[in-house]
Structure 1
Amino acid sequence: MKNKRSLIFLLVAISGLLLVACQPQTIEVTRIVTETIVEEGEAVEVTVVVTETEVQEVEVTRVVEVEGETMTARGAGGTVNLLWWQAASTLNNYMSGGTKESDAAAIFLEPLARYDENGNFVPWLATEIPTVQNGGVSEDLMSITWNLREGVLWSDGTPFTSADVVFTAEYCMHPDTGCASISSFDGVASVEAVDDLTVMITFEGAQPFPYGPFVGPATNVLQAAQFADCIGAAAVGCTDQNFAPIGTGPYKVVEFRPNDVTIFEINEHYRDPNRPFFSEVVLKGGGDAASAARAVLETGEGDYAWNLQVEPEILNQMELAGIGKVHAAFASSTERLVIQQANPDPELGDQRAEPGTVHPAFSDPAVAKA
């Protein structure tokens, strides 16, 4: 696993060089010839410049870029060990708004479209990104129509259809579900299946940016058959479903221990026969940022560690071990502390922690100013 011990692992196509030499070439040759001629009884040296065209065998080096073969065989990479020291508490990211949950879910659940590292849209379970130009977004900006990939299967072998997309919207938009991604559906009037592979989302008003629902990690598609009995107040109690959702992604869940570890293996029904590269993904939680960094950079126990909130000088020292590398990438997320300013006293009953109450500690003006 030494070749994978980096804070970012990439599959890279390698370019080779071919050298082609000794090819016949027609070239122009300039010769400088010194001749001796006799003028008026005296021998005189004369230098003559002669230009000739001839064919010679010359050595020519031509560099040709050839894309080398990349190891893309399904499962060829073996096991990859990921360290998310803030471990997932559920694998249904609709039940939690944490990045740790959405990251775990992204391994096996999928949306209609995603963003790439440059912020561009990438169609995922959809065939293309709907726009006004291609007719996918209505000219009045009141609706968006998604065309779904044909032949996509869930990890249990059943077909993925528009019914799953419609169900997921109903699941999240139900007022009693407690959906963590409800804001992604703001302004949505309806989500309808036009046919098995077409979904139309209609908005309550003109929507200049209609890419909230089912775009990005917050709104993956759930399987309607698995979550049929989990809408509304029943959602939180669906432990079996929330801890092991069936997905369309490259992996499937084989073991989940909340706040500890998740193990994934290849989804044999995944649509790309050459992917995924790793045969098993172990997503390990627990510990802290420093121990996660140490496991990758110094001991080699992990292949990738996330969210390393560690002082740069400490990371730099760890990197000197030569086992792994530190990579920084731009992201829009931020870390913050949220202070409870309401009164959490259980004796308040229904008024406990309500906005109109004041935490006893903040009754002291000095604390508030601090």
Structure 2
Amino acid sequence: MYQPLPEGIRSARADNRNGLDIHYLEAGDADAPVLLLLHGFPELSYSWRKVMLPLAEAGYRVIAPDQRGYGFTTGWDGDYDGDLGACRMFNLATDMVGLLHALKTGPVRAVVGHDFGSPVAAHCALIRPDLFRAAVLMSAPYGGPPPLRRRVPASDIHADLAALPRPRKHYQRYYASRAAAADMLHAPQGLQAFFRAYYHVKSADWPENRPFELGGWRAAELAKMPTYYIMDRDRDMAETVAPHMPSDEEVEACRWLPGEEMAVYARAFRQTGFQCALNWYRCMTDPALSPEMRAFAGARIAVPATFIAGAQDWGIHQVPGALKAMAETATADWRGTHLIEGAGHWVQQEQPAETVRLLLDFLKGL
């Protein structure tokens, strides 16, 4: 079990019949309507610890699993040359269908996904609206399923980034590389220091996070984002975030992620490594690895949906046009976009009270 864990949050396991023995955290009455909370990268079920009890006290059974490749969940392949297809989006959604069947929950009131959990939640709602009756997407906008015929870009964005006067590379391209997992696991500054810098630089605590809408999917526009998204070509992620390591005074002042909680992430990823989690990026960035999703071309999420993110989160603009597409073309029953001041990328940890308020407002509207 993760420690420290707030009293009232339980830890359990379930066989999802899709190859995983899923570890999950749970709070609330077993007979209450279910909320399924899906974490992102590099996160854990533990990332929901600040919102689970308030949601349970509001009358919900709250379930937060460690997804494939994360935490105490087992049964996944962590080899770069292993079973890559298991990390494709359709199978990640199947993981959650299997978990709900194992727990005999019936339909869930809402599936809530943060960061990479956001597209998983979106696909759950798209594929099984009978089981996932509403969707809350957080920090990563969902622009819809892939088209039936892949669009051929006018130029290679990765070549264009590398050709800039200050050569750059996209962080997802880096995460798909063979070197990325070892770079982070064996970061020269140490794993916990790497996590501290990474979480700091993507939070509202880093004053340079002042996001704005980009002009398009072009190298010169993408390069306006911080280097944790559009990296310097010759730096890995550990090197990228190291210059932004917060001071001892800043770490001490960080109430939303004190040292003992930060250590939970370092311990977990030291045990599991990063590779299976990074295989999600490999599947997402290569359309050939998710051909089944083309069957949903043009389909909209039919159930009620909303978006919550930090106002200081560059993630909301990292795919130009996705925020607008999510509300106008990717969903059929849009319930609003909500940006929380004083929060960066880790919105449910940085501003849990406001996150809970927005979640409950959405749920009441159902």
What range describes the TM-score normalised by the shorter chain of this pair? under 0.3
- Structure index of larger Rg: 1
TM-score where L is the length of structure 1 = 0.22
TM-score where L is the length of structure 2 = 0.22
Structure whose residues are more often strand by fraction: 1
Structure whose residues are more often helix by fraction: 2
